[in-house]
Amino acid sequence: MLVMAHLSASFSAILRVRVEDRPGAFADLARAIGDAGASLDAIDLVRVEDGVKVRDVTIMASDAEHIERVATAARAVPGVTVERVSDRVFLAHLGGKIEMSGRLPLKTRDDLSIAYTPGVARVCMAIAADRSAAWNLTSKRNTVAVVSDGSAVLGLGDIGPEAALPVMEGKALLFKEFGGVDAWPLCLATQDTEEIIMICKAIAPGFGGINLEDISAPRCFEIEERLRAELDIPVFHDDQHGTAIVCLAALLNALRVVGKRAEDIKVIVTGVGAAGVAVTYMLERSGVRNIIGFDRQGALWKGRPGLTGSKAAYAERTNPEGVQGSPNDALRGADVFIGLSGPGAVTAAAVRTMAKDAIVFAMANPTPEVAPEEIADVVRVIATGRSDYPNQINNVLAFPGVFRGALDARASTITPAMELAAARALAAVVGGDELGPDYIIPSVFDRSVAPAVAEAVVAAARADGVAAR
């Protein structure tokens, strides 16, 4: 089966071209771009010179190399000169994606006296007398620190704190846009567990919550567990719990589509890092009983030699039948496949051995574990982590609402019940008249999502006794 490349704005570029002003000249260029497998997204006339028209041609490609191939094809067209190729993603990131802005005017001496000295001194003393007053008299009540050590960034791996910064800026932008939460990236030049814990504890007075991001397993488990125990503000590792919340919401609705019950299904999970462990435990809390996890060495089963730490604990509570071997073998008769690993983790042939009305969540990004096009004829519901396929499982559906609710409740922590409530609220956003194989999870641009999740989180925080208001 021929698998067509997906063209995406993630790989779009602007070609500044000089085209001879003659009939058919631009048509030749457009044809070359199409023959190279790209699409024309926009055409803008920059200026007209003697016998030449200068245009900006925006194209969409499938990857960075594809952009270069398109540019090469354009250069080969007679009468066309490519002056430059500008990657739109890099243009968008020039100068960063976020900035700080003030909430008070500073136009007069009175403004300065109120916002800063001498007026601010009285506010400082009020907080010194009652530390909890900081929640009302500072930005703490609406501010989250996005903390990363750059050790597990997207699918890129250990690329360091500076390289992680664009992702953390993006996270802060999403917090503000979808949850109304002010977030700030803190990329740390250390991967020492104790140092990260110490730094987070030291900065905690200035924030209402801490979002841990892109910290590799197994260190992320201890860091989050310790910080939740030692701080009185919410700490949330989004790679774990954000992924788990959205994945469960999507699965609840997928099960409605295929008419199966959580307690009856067999689930195969590839990848038992931070996300895989959290997703598994969230599914267990929702009633799924038969989950088999796989790492690069195969199935995790109780007693497998060499297992320690989080993987040993995982093996103790999953795989009730002690299945061994590869995920391809285990897929036979399985109802659900959840991929949190990488491309090629399972084969299309193995997916075809799954049970009737199978559900596949292939969430590796940008290349899924198995190409959706190769299994679309046998799988009932398919979801990925990409925006250019139906059913995108994206953490932005969870973390803005989770933190909005936690901050509104002034929660001291985020409990499993709050996470489960968030997942159920997210699933409920998709009404019964909308639900279908290609729509099991809301769009990231559905503005009803964050308020619905936040409301559920507030209610669960109050029920769990962790809400201060």
Tens digits of residue pLDDT in 90-118: 999 999 999 999 999 999 999 999 999 99
171 in active site: yes
What CATH homologous superfamily does 240-469 map to?
A: NAD(P)-binding Rossmann-like Domain (3.40.50.720)
Which of the residues 53, 97, 107, 116 is marked catalytic?
116
Measure CA of the first residue to CA of the last residue in the chain; give whole Å: 57
Where exactly does CATH 3.40.50.720 map onto the chain?
240-469
Which of the residues 171, 260, 266, 311 is marked catalytic?
171
Token pair listed for 350: 């193995």
Contact 412, 406 (CB under 8 A): no
Task: Answer yes or no: is pLDDT of 4 > 50.
Answer: no
Q: State the pLDDT at residue 432.
A: 85
Where exactly does CATH 3.30.70.260 map onto the chain?
8-93
Q: State the pLDDT at residue 1.
A: 37
Q: State the pLDDT at residue 10.
A: 86
Average pLDDT of the residues in 352-366? 94
Average pLDDT of the residues in 288-307? 95
What CATH homologous superfamily does 8-93 map to?
A: ACT domain (3.30.70.260)
Contact 384, 392 (CB under 8 A): yes
Gyration radius of the chain's alpha carbons: 25
Of residues 363, 431, 427, the one with CA closest to residue 401: 427
Average pLDDT of the residues in 15-38? 95
Q: Is 466 exposed, middle or buried (0-12, 13-18, 19+ CB in 10 A)?
A: buried
pLDDT digits 0-9 by tens, 306-340: 998 889 999 999 999 999 999 999 999 999 999 99
Where exactly does CATH 3.40.50.10380 map onto the chain?
140-233
pLDDT digits 0-9 by tens, 137-150: 999 999 999 999 99
Q: State the pLDDT at residue 155.
A: 75
376: which residues sit within 8 A by CB, 6+ positions away? Answer: 382
116 in active site: yes
Q: How high does pLDDT run on average in the chain?
A: 94
Contact 209, 235 (CB under 8 A): yes
pLDDT digits 0-9 by tens, 237-274: 999 999 999 999 999 999 999 999 999 999 999 999 98
Task: Answer yes or no: is pLDDT of 383 > 50.
Answer: yes
Q: Where are the alpha helices (H) located in 289-388, listed in sequence order?
A: 309-317, 327-330, 348-351, 372-375
In terms of CATH architecture, what is 140-233?
3-Layer(aba) Sandwich (3.40)
State how far the Cα of 155 lies from the Cα of 160, in Å rounded to an integer: 13
At 239, the amino acid letter reads D
- Give the burial string for 211-237 (b: 16+ CB within 10 Å, else e): bbbbbbbebbbbbbebbbeebebbbbb
